[in-house]
Structure 1
Amino acid sequence: MRECPHLAELPRPEPVPLNETCPECAADGTHPVQLRLCLLCGHVGCCDSSAGRHATQHFKDTGHAVMRTFEPGEKWRWCFVDGSIV
């Protein structure tokens, strides 16, 4: 794993979450397994264990590389570009 400049450039304060759950899963009638928060725009998407993989799709659609877990009690962040976690 290489050094990740994207994680160091995280916006502070974090954006306000746009939803409480994954809106794409809600529209599809599927259940999100784990939620992720985009740290650039506040989009909430489901993880790759969910049927829709909407957090990853959000990255592919927008290029927003850094997200964090949106699960209670968890605090890690992930960069899609560099495959880095903190």
Structure 2
Amino acid sequence: MRSTCTHLNQIHQVTPSAVGCQECLAMGDRWVHLRICQICGHVGCCDSSKNKHATHHFQMTGHPIVKSFESGENWGWCYVDHTFIEVP
């Protein structure tokens, strides 16, 4: 497991795709916490949610970095390097 992220240069200024988990909203389901893709702005539910849409988005697109989409949180996660990062 790496202690640094090698994908920070891929972070973009993004616009959220939805106010909640995009897929859960479409199917009328619930989520626990939200994550926003720092490459495209996709909002998905975390791995504590039953649907794990943020991870599924990574698996489908390869977009490596998500940020917490919870109020007051500024941490991120790199799926490829398996490390937490601070996202401005």
- TM-score exceeds 0.5: yes
Deviation beyond 2 Å, 4+ runs, structure 1: none
The 3-state SS of whatever aligns with 1:25 is: helix
Unaligned runs of 5+ in 1: none
TM normalised by structure 1 equals: 0.90
Unaligned runs of 5+ in 2: none
Figure out how many residues of one structure are paired with residues of the other and give that number.
84
TM normalised by structure 2 equals: 0.88
Identical amino acids, percent of aligned pairs: 49
Per the alignment, residue 4 of structure 1 pairs with: 5
CA RMSD of aligned residues (A): 1.2
Per the alignment, residue 58 of structure 1 pairs with: 57
What are the within-5 Å matches in structure 2 for residues 2-81 of structure 1? 2=2, 3-6=4-7, 8-12=8-12, 14-81=13-80
Deviation at 1:69, TM superposition (A): 0.2
The 3-state SS of whatever aligns with 1:9 is: helix
Assess if the C-alpha contact under 8 Å between 1:30 and 1:51 holds in 2. no
